[in-house]
Structures are given as C-alpha cells and as structure tokens.
Structure 1
C-alpha cells in the first residue's frame, strides 16, 4: 500500500469553492466604504452607488453600450428566473440541459410556467447535439456548466439571424471566458462567482431584442414581485439606473465594487481570462500526469476553465457503490480541510463523485500548484483506508 508524507507547503489562499469563490488577492473587509451603511435603499446617494456598480460591471465585462443592465434578487438563480417568468411563452422554448441548473431551468419552465419546452439533454461530462437547436424558438442554456465542468466550445451554433431569444446563464463564465455579445440576448451572472463577490445579488444584461420582448409581451401568469422586471408599460427602465427591485445589501454592493476596481487595476477582462487560463493549465498539467484522476468531460474543447470537475479512475474507488463513493469524497475533503490545505473541493451534491476545484481569476496559480500535492496525499491516505 502506497503511503506518502504530507507536503511541506500549503496554498497561501486555500479556497477553491465554486461559489462563493475566493476573494480577490489582498482583500480586506475593513477596506470597504461604510458611509452609506444604514441608508435607505431609495436614497439618491445609494441608488447612484448601485448605478456606479452597473457602470463598472459594463466596463470590466465589456458589455456593449446598447445592452441594458440591472440587478436582481437571488443571485444568478434569481436573474435566470426573472428572464424565464418575464419573457418566455411568446414562442416555443428549448432548454439545453447538461448539468444541474440546466435541468432545473427545464423543470421550472415545464412545471411552474406550464409551458412545453423541448429539452436537449446530455449526460454528465457531455454536451447535447447543438445542431438540434431551433432558433425559431427561445433557447435557454448555460454557457458553462458549474456543476459538470462542461462549457459550450464556441458560439458558432447560435444563429445570428435567430427569431427567438438566446437566454444565457453565464454565471461561471462571465469575467473568465469571452462572451459573444452579438449572439446573446439575455446574459445572467452573480456577484459570487468569477470575481469572488458576496452572494444574494444577480445581474442581467439585456439586448435590444430582449427589452423589446419585455415591452410588447405580457405573459398570462402572475409574476412574483422579486422577479418582476416589467411594469404596465413594459421593461421597467428605472432598474437600469440602479434602482433595486427590493432591498439589497449595501455592504454587498461595496464588496462588488471593490472586486471590479481590482479587476480594472490588474488589466481588465483580458487579464482576468489570462489568469483563469493559467490556473486551469496548472491543474490540467497535474491531472494529465496523475493516474487516479481525470477530467469528467472527456473532450478537451468542452472542458470548463473555471469550475473544473474531475472523476476518479482508480479501480479501488470505481468498484465502490454510490454511497461508498460519496463517503470516500467526504473523507477526502475532511483530510484536506483538517490540514487547512484545500477547502471546498467536493463536487455538487447531484454530480458524480469526484473533485471540483474553482480556477477562476481570483485564485492564484501558485496556490493551484501548491494544492495538487495535497490532493495526492489526501487520495493516497483515503484510498489506503478502503477495505
């Protein structure tokens, strides 16, 4: 039985959760402005601060000027749901489901909106056949599957002359991968993913076609207030000026502005993508030389560079039943966290047993490299205990 010594060096910032993700390097809570704390959410100074956050978001993410942006309650989930409830039903719907949240959107469209979507599914680690997408319909899809480690390889499959809307859940792609804005009508993401913001607030970016849908289409259903982005006149344009749908956390917006200021200071979107790619490459190099682990997605071109999902290939683990494999992951996690070496590397609760490490831009490449010997130690320790 192979037993290895504990590594001598730990990551300086051992946070690899897929959400909320690692804070930016050198983050300090006490550095956030506090002068607006305790003010009313409708106070002009507060509204302006939220509007400033939207302007910064547009600048860093390089969102085109003709897209409108707004905040929603409920992180990315709230943003996606606002799009589903407020826009779908004007024409047929397809949902592309290759991970947990795509399946969730499909279920919501079918069971709660009472529409009849065509669902294009794929097993964990794969993509559906994108040639089956029908752009006469509205199409709902994740750009990057946070829970499966799969992403769409490009935008070639999206029709530039589409009749329907392209509704893109981009929460683990924004700020980490190029987004083809001319191919996307609704783009959603949350503070808590690629820039390490706090949870609770989502962002929507809407094309002219999406705004037009809100202006002219009135769904035949009641829409919960926290998802209501249109009023009796159509799209509620006050939301694009920083007005909140309900009461948002001022501390959370200050934290988000801090993350955006950092992103600008290091070089903007191109540098954020470069940092992400460097982190992914460091982890991929270790995977390729390690015989007990592999990527969950087999095809390199569809592998996520942010939410990297891995599977065990060791026969001793593969031979375990599903319950025992989950227990193995729990033991793996406990060993790492007991040493303070790597936190939150477990997969999503509905994903196959394995590892999931966030490699977005707020993670340092040196910490990815420092984490891999600890993953090796934890595996060898945990597998030696398998009876």
Structure 2
C-alpha cells in the first residue's frame, strides 16, 4: 500500500509548452518602458535587438550567422525556412513524432516537392539518418517534443555538405549544444525551454542559408509572414530588431527576463547541467519502477527535456486499450486537481503516456516531490 505523500511540489509546473517560468519570476519584475510604444520606436526596436543579441550570445551562435524574431512561434519560423529554401534541390524530411510529421505533410501536401524523400519512425525511435544523401536538403527535429527521442549526435551530417540543413530545435535549444557548423536554419520558440510566452519564434540562418534565400525564388506564392527578402536580398532589418508583423513587447520583455536569468546562473552550460540533472531524476525513477518504461529504448537517444514514459506490467496489460488510455489521463487529472502537478499528460497523438518537462527552469526538488505522487495515484487507480 502506498501512503499519501507528505510534500507537494512548490512549483507544480511540468508542462512541455509553455514550460515553467524560472524560480523567482514575477510579472512585477518585467521592464515596461516599451509597453504602449510602437515596436518601431527607438525603445521598442532596441528591446527587440537586445533579445536577439542576448539569444546569440547565450547560444554561442557564430558571428556570421543571423538571428531574427519571427511570427507564429516555432511553427512560423520553421515553415518560413521550408517555404523560402526548399525546392531548389532534392530534399529529405525526417520525423519521429507528431511535429516532425507536420513538416512531412507540409513538404508532401503543401509544397508538393517533386524530388522528396521522407523518413519516419515510431514514437521513441529515430529513423536511419545516415541514409540521407549529403547532396539533399534536409529537415529534421533535433529533439522529439512529443516522444522524448533526440538525435544522439550530428555524425550523419558531413561538414561542408551540399544540401542545406533545416533544424527544428524548439525543445532542444538551451538544453543541448547545437552543432552550428552543420546547421543552416535553426528554429525555436520562446515558450519552450526558456518558459517564456508563446507566439514568437526565432530563425537562425547560416551564410549558406542566406545565399540560398538570395539566389533562389520558389515557385509557390509566399504569405507575407514568410517574406524575408527585400528585392533580391535578404531583408537584414528583420535580424536587427525589425519584425515582419507587430510583436508583443510584453512577451518580448518576458523572454528577455528569462535570458537574463539564464545568463546570471552561468549561461547555456548551466542550463544544460540543470536539464541533465532534472532528467536523470526522472529517468532513474522510471528505470527503478517496474510498471513503467521509458518511451525511448536507446539511452543515447533519450531527451533531457520532455521525458516520456508508458505503463506496463500485469495490471496495466490486463486492461482494454480504452482503459489503458484512461490511466495516464486520470493520473494527470487527479494530480492537477490536488495542485501537485499540472499538464504532464502525454501528447494527444502519442501512445498513452505521461510526459514530464525537465528543462532548466524546473527545480530538482519539485521533480523529486512529484514522482511519489504518481506512484500514489497509480496505486489508487487499482483499488
């Protein structure tokens, strides 16, 4: 029999997006000088430029790469990269979870690329990336937000490869080091690893990506939100604090606050270490719990952000598929009602599972307090 745990997490925020604010965050601490001002004013543009510069500094982005703020969160930034660069040469889109499969659908049904190869794998696994021709453009997701499977390395990308590389890094950046030399377009959103507000994305371009954009005009029409050229050249103002449409200056200040906090604790290396330590707490618990299994069988491919796990064992296996799907939903619902943990049910398209966010804005003690409550809730279900 499992007793009711004595302690609840102080900060029960375990959502995989938007993720937890950093400890000590308060709306009262956000700077407000730019609020109520035009984003094109000197103060507004300066704050947007500061967010760009701080992002570049913290992520160690090379000096000759460009960083810009895009509308539409990571989706807008990633689709902008696809719409403006793909179609110039053969392409491969690789996916192993729901968001990667959206990029496949974009390539197949929307862009209708003539020379396209798609690679996919079941949740928890990664396709054979080494099979991708180096001449091909490639679109991939560094870390599977809804499966917990990440690429273990970039050995499958050759230095100086002919094709461009488009990398959806939204649940990886600030938790895993990016191999910038092999990445041409990298995208993420403020609301993932940094726990900031949604609807704003970041687009990071290599010189090779810039050359592709300036030398190539796709055959399909581009929505205004994807138009990053001015004449035949990249509109570099976008990467200096101008934006394609009106951004939220309040969300910008929230993102800046998170960046400044990350810098104050030691920058991206500290964020990596925090995510690693958090994920270790959860993955070690999964390994020690016989009725749980990490969704990702290969330890080298397991994420340190959104750790996903499924149920197993005699009780769970005896249930109908409908009742099996009910188990994680009910646990997540019950613990939310008790203010123990919020929003950690598995993604709707994933196998029935739980998904605990372990990124650097989460505290270790809160994770340690959450896990006994999951054990308790599972025991309560069996009564």
How high is the TM-score relative to the length of structure 2? 0.98
Q: How does 1:47-62 map to 2 (within 5 A)?
A: 47-62=45-60
Give the CA deviation at 1:330. 1.9
Q: CA deviation at 1:266?
A: 0.2
User: 1:286 matched to which residue of 2?
Assistant: 285
Matches within 5 A, 1:111-260: 111-116=109-114, 117-260=116-259
Q: Which residue of 2 aligns with 1:8?
A: 6
- Mapped to 1, the partners of 2:219 and 2:253 lie a distance apart of 38
Counterpart of 1:382? 381
**Helix, strand or coil for the counterpart of 1:214?**
helix
Conservation of the 8 A alpha-carbon contact between 2:283 and 2:307: no
Q: Determine the C-alpha separation between the residues in 1 that align with 2:314 and 2:250.
A: 48
CA distance in 2 between counterparts of 1:328 and 1:43 reads 52
CA distance in 1, matches of 2:72, 2:156: 30
1:348 — aligned with what? 347
Contact between 2:77 and 2:203, CA under 8 Å: does it hold in 1?
yes
Q: What does residue 313 of structure 1 align with?
A: 312
- Aligned with residue 104 of structure 1, among 87, 96, 102: 102
Query: Secondary structure, in 3 states, of the residue corresponding to 1:244?
Result: coil
> Quick one: distance in 2 between partners of 1:24 and 1:155?
30
DSSP 3-state at the match of 1:151? coil
1:69 to 55, 67, 70: 67
Counterparts of 2:250 and 2:64 in 1: how far apart (Å)? Answer: 29
Structure 1 contact 197–259 (Cα < 8 Å) conserved: yes
| Structure 2 gap ranges (5+) | none
> Displacement of 1:324 after TM fit?
2.4
Residue 9 of structure 1 contacts residue 370 of structure 1 at CA under 8 Å; is this kept in 2? yes
Mark the CA change 1:318 to 1:245 in structure 2 (over 3 Å): closer, same or farther. farther
Per-residue displacement from partner, 1:19-70 (whole Å, max 9, x unpaired)? 0000011000111011211111211221111001000001111111110010
RMSD, aligned CA: 1.0
Alpha-carbon contact 1:86-1:230 (below 8 Å) kept: no
Partner residue in 2 for 1:30: 28
Choose from 77, 80, 83 the match for 1:85: 83
What secondary structure, in the 3-state scheme, does the structure 1 residue paired with 2:134 have?
Answer: coil
Counterparts of 1:74 and 1:318 in 2: how far apart (Å)?
A: 41
- Distance in structure 1 (CA, Å) of the matches to 2:263 and 2:33: 23
SS in structure 2 of the partner of residue 205 of structure 1: strand
Shift of 1:156: 0.8
Deviation at 1:323, TM superposition (A): 2.8
- Partner secondary structure for residue 382 of structure 2: helix
Following superposition, the deviation at residue 319 of structure 1 comes to 3.6
Output the CA distance in 1 between the equivalents of 2:379 and 2:144. Answer: 29
The TM-score with structure 1 as length reference comes to 0.97
Partners of 1:315 and 1:124 in 2: how far apart? 23
C-alpha displacement of 1:226: 1.2
